Structure 1
Amino acid sequence: MTGINLNDEIDLRDLLKIIWDKRKFIIVFTFVVTVLAIVYAMSKKPIYEVKSVVRVGYLNDTLVEDSNILEKKLRLIFGVDTKTNGIEKDKAIVSNISTVKKVENFLEISTQAFSNELAIMKNKEVVNFLQNEYKYKIDEFILRTNINIKNLEEKIAHIEKVEKVNIEKNIEKIKTQSIPKIDKKIELIKTQSIPKIDKKIELIKTQSIPKIDKKIELIKNVEIKSIEHKLEFNTNKLNEYQVNLLKISKQKSSDNTQNMLMAMQILNTQNLILDVQNIIENLRKERENLLNIDIKELEVKRENLLNIDIKELEIKRKNLLNIDVKDLELQKENYKNDNIRKLEIDLNINIPKKIEDLKNSINLEKLKLTNSSVKNSEIVGDIQINDYPIKPKKKSIVIVAFVTGFILSIFLVFFIQFIKSFKKEDDNEKT
């Protein structure tokens, strides 16, 4: 305050005096401006604004569209940023669409009209557009989920009606066919194949070999002895014929007839000797054949029966017991311990687990269809409606007009006073 001099105080008084002198002008001017503002405010149609908060639709925690992209898309479609987007009679406009701060899946939609009803209809129009725009995605998701559920249910039905039944049939087949078939094979080997081999061995020992021994014995005791008797007989005959030939050869006669008879007798005896010699030779050969061929062959055959045929049969019998039967028993054991056990594990553990997993998958798919997993865009809470219009703000217009008129009137008073002072100084300079 110490910096204000006396002249400043006089000037301020002059200013206040000017304002006081022109108070009527100031009051009238301010009154006129205020009245004009009141008339303007009363002449403007009231504009009402409606707001709603929309939650963007989602599929399994995934938005049908990114909220920022959706905001730009809706602003473009409904002309929010268009400068010529004015309110017309019986029509509403979308005044603003924006994402809710810090909440990525919420949009705030503001609509304006000359009535709340029109603004509400426009607001719902935006929401309906939003719902219809992405309804196909939700319908497609629901359809695909239902198809997945149906496929899973068909898999369960297939497991229960086909796989499970096939496993039960396989177990029953192994128990009633495969294992009994193996038992039958083992029984056949033990009751038929082995006894048959034993019978063959027994036949060889009791019939074939004794038969060969009998043949050898027959050859030795009958045929060879018979040949030796024949040889002895023919040898005696040969000696007799030779003695007779010697006697005849020693006889001499002067009678030619007698000599001719003796010559013929000698010739006959010689023929007999030759025949006997041939017989003896044949008998010796026959005896030799019997000894060296027939008996040898029979002995070889007997030896083969003992050392080959019987041995082979015994080996075959041993193989049947130690290989074939054991292989069949092992196969039977494998059926019991491996095949049946695996099938029973499948039937009692794997199949129920598979069915349980499929049922859990069905439950998960069904959860996708609940409101907690699938939801179209919708208004959250109630639409915000104002009973009072947002435009025009009559009080604000009147107050602003009053203040503006008052200030402008004072400015005009000072301006007019300045002009008068300027003219007065100009006139003084001229005089």
Structure 2
Amino acid sequence: MRPMIRLRYLPDLTATDRSSVGDFLRQETVGGALALIAAVVAVAWANTPWSASYADLRHVQAGPLTLEQWAADGALTIFFFVAGLELKREFVVGSLSRITDAVVPVVAAVCGVAVPALIYTAVNLAHPDGRPGGWAIPSATDIAFALAVLAVVGSALPPQLRAFLLTLAVVDDLIVIVIIATFYSSSLHLVPLAVAGAGMVVWWLLQHFRIQLWLVHIAVAVVTWWFMHESGVHATIAGVALGLLTRVRRDPGEAVSPAAFLEHQLHPVSAAFAVPVFAFMSAGVAVSGGASLTADPVVIGIVLGLVLGKPVGVFGGSWLLCRLTRADIDDDVRWRDVAAVAVLAGVGFTVSLLVSELSFSGAEREAAKTAVLVASTVAALLASVLLGLRSRAHRASAPTA
């Protein structure tokens, strides 16, 4: 009989994978730090005697949108466009192109989205004042913050864990993007949606026929974004769609693919501008309410979803799949390492704040944002401790030169 072949969970990375993950980590570390600074400034400003000026700034009209809307619908579209490019790269030539490598982080991401949503829904259905409409708020993992924390405190961890977190966060983004498009779009306007769809077709044709007129690409992107906004579908979906329609494979004699070129050019813009601007415009909530907040089912559901549901979903999904299939964890990785990374997945922040804005208004929105900030902070601190301990353990067990 032929010996049974067991799949390897978190296999050793190739040289190309190591380079790609390393470059992405370095960029996200800077972006996460800038977004954190922007969020701290916003929260501090919103809780000073000059908080009214912060609110006035967010509502300044700049053309067809306010500054707050430009941040959520405009700047964040750049972030989602880069996410779309990264998704396309992962699907075509990255870790998601290899089914055996992708299956565990994909299952972990799905469970990491489902368990927090179920916890939030259960809490809010059981409470007479519950608002289950915000079920998707604790489902997101903030890729920039999570990777930034991992880079700072987990330097001695096996590189497979970084690839796992990156793949997990990328798939998480895709799932939440689909949720936003499906459940959090306003009433559809078919004519603008058709124009946006036509813009996507034109973008694909430009890619297919290798037309490298970047001014035309920019014009098509802007038209597609605007009409997607006018259609009632959240404008960031246009960014994801155009990213997924961008060509990833290089032609013979081509130095880089269009996707690689655009990601190289726009990732610094996304990390250093788009995400920090959104964080600044969105995170400024007045922290008040005290006991009333701790009894709010929305707050309880979000905090439990991110701090408890995320690690249970990510770790539980990974562990169960390995127990029920022929998958084995890599020899360099321990399940305690995976558990620490699963806790880190509870850092929601950017996309959770976006879903909070789409789910609620007024005081409910502010309570949801406060819960996201508190839960993400708790998850980041817990993960920092756990990852630091695991990093020291790996450093101590490493062979000396």
TM bucket normalised to smaller: under 0.3
Indicate the structure (1 or 2) with the bigger Cα radius of gyration: 1
TM-score (norm 1): 0.15
| TM-score normalised by the chain length of structure 2 | 0.16
